[in-house]
Structure 1
Amino acid sequence: MHQYLAFDGSGIDGGLFRTITGLARDTTWLNTPMDLWTNAGLVVFAVLMVIGFLRARHRDTAAMTLALAAPVAVVGAFAVAEVAKKLVAEVRPCYSVPHAYIVEACPVRTDYAFPSGHTTTAAATVAALWLLDRQLAWIATAFAVLEGFSRVYLGAHYPHDVLGAAVLALPVAYLISKALGRWAQPLVARLRTGALEPVLTRRPSGAHAARAR
């Protein structure tokens, strides 16, 4: 019975959804690359956070704290999005707009559409990196836009699912990173001078180390 009570989001922007999936129908040569990217893109966001961590090893404790907080912020934003999915219970477009051109396989009915989990991860990464490394954040932003578009192009989500994910994830991840960046800094400072010093701190070597001494 629950599946019949689930929210139908096609009335919000179903027309725009069909326009974008119509583009997918007219560019079948792009279907496979977009399908591969939509999941591979999540690895890209993880790599960007790793790069942020490696850069932070050369920086101060505040930067390292933000680097360690980034994945926590992304997981936190994703958890909030999962709660929102259950509350809204919006059925996927493949059920509400069955005649649209849909590339991605239709999931079970209880795998709800709003907000987009992929876009949540992408937007949360942008917010977390914004506090840590603006250069990486801009790179993540470009990939996040592509990630969000791919979710609609493949027919997995409506445009409002993607927009809603960004609106939710950006402030949640930002606030989690900001809070951890302040509260966890004393702990990270101790770890950087303890057993985890080789992991959390990159010491200068060679001539640079000699000059430092």
Structure 2
Amino acid sequence: MAGLADSGANPDVDLLYDINGLAKDAPHWFDRLMEYIGEYGLLLAMVLLVVWCWWSVRRRGGERAAASVAALVWAPLAAGLAVLVNVPIRGFVRRPRPFLDHQGLDVLVSGKTDFSFVSDHATITMAMGVALFVANRRFGLAGIGLALLEGFCRVYMGVHYPTDVVGGFALGTAVALLLSPPAMILLTPLLRAVEGSAWGGWLVRSRRAAGSRGGADSRGRTGDRASATEERDLAA
């Protein structure tokens, strides 16, 4: 598979040089910014996006709160599982990093000695973005947008081929979607049990949402008792 890295009439390599060439023309400070964003920043932004979605879901409450939180729990789990699946894939393909086979690349991150296909960063962000989309479309679209930006950054930094990124997107999407149904079957009852517990209910529903639900239940029970009293009075 190392032959994929050969130069010449190879659109993968041509696109690599085109995107990475932007780094050569950019100011030094911009390259350092892209280095941080591509290596750490977008991963952190994805985590914060999931936390933001969780905060929104638990404040809203509702009957499906446990299922919604379970879907959000699946997002980081899907990312971790996708990275584990990538371990044997990398070992089988054994594709060197592009800067090892091609001269003239502007490599923004040093010390990358592992194999190139597929990109872990692209896999993680797309798995989380797709899983987030399953839980909430609005937040999910933002997550997928972050994943696409991550893929661009990895090529811009000179550490991955475009096909490494596309492979990561495919792997992350496949794991997040195909394993979502069994994951929800396992996680939803667990989150419902947490929701009903005295120690972990706040993880699924905020106090305000829980209070609103309790108030509604209380009003419902009061109304039932009032109706029963009226029926007894009419019968007498």
- Corresponding residue number in structure 2 for 1:178: 181
SS for the counterpart of 2:95 is coil
Q: 1:24, 1:198 → 2: CA distance? A: 46
Runs (5+) with no aligned partner, structure 1: 1-5
Cross-structure match for 2:4: 9
Give TM-score scaled by structure 2 length: 0.79
- Contact in 1 for aligned 2:75/2:129 (Cα 8 Å): no
Task: Answer with 1 or 2: which has the greater Rg.
Answer: 2
Counterpart of 1:146 in structure 2 is 149
When normalised by structure 1's length, the TM-score is: 0.87
Q: Deviations over 1:111-158 (max 9, x none)?
A: 010011111111001111011111111111221111100000010100
Pick closer, same or farther for the CA change 1:123–1:64 going to 2, 3 Å. Answer: same
Contact 1:94 1:106 in 2 (8 A): no
Asked whether the 8 Å contact 2:98–2:161 carries over to 1, the reply is yes
CA distance in 2, matches of 1:53, 1:167: 25
Deviation of residue 100 (structure 1)? 2.1
Identity of aligned residues (%): 26
Q: Read off the aligned partner of 2:88 and give its amino acid letter.
A: V
Residue-by-residue CA offset, 1:66-111 (whole Å, 9 max, x unaligned): 1222211111111112221111111001101133222221422xx0
Q: Which runs of 5+ in 2 are unaligned?
A: 219-236
> Where has structure 1 moved over 3 Å in runs of 4 or more?
205-211
Tell me how many residue pairs correspond in the alignment: 206
CA 1:27–1:105: 2 relative to 1, 3 Å: same
2:71, 2:184 within 8 Å by CA — same for their partners in 1? yes
Between 1:162-171 and 1:29-38, the stretch displaced more is 29-38
User: Does the aligned pair in 1 maintain the 2:122–2:165 contact within 8 Å?
Assistant: yes
CA RMSD of aligned residues (A): 2.2
Equivalent residue, structure 1, for 2:44: 43
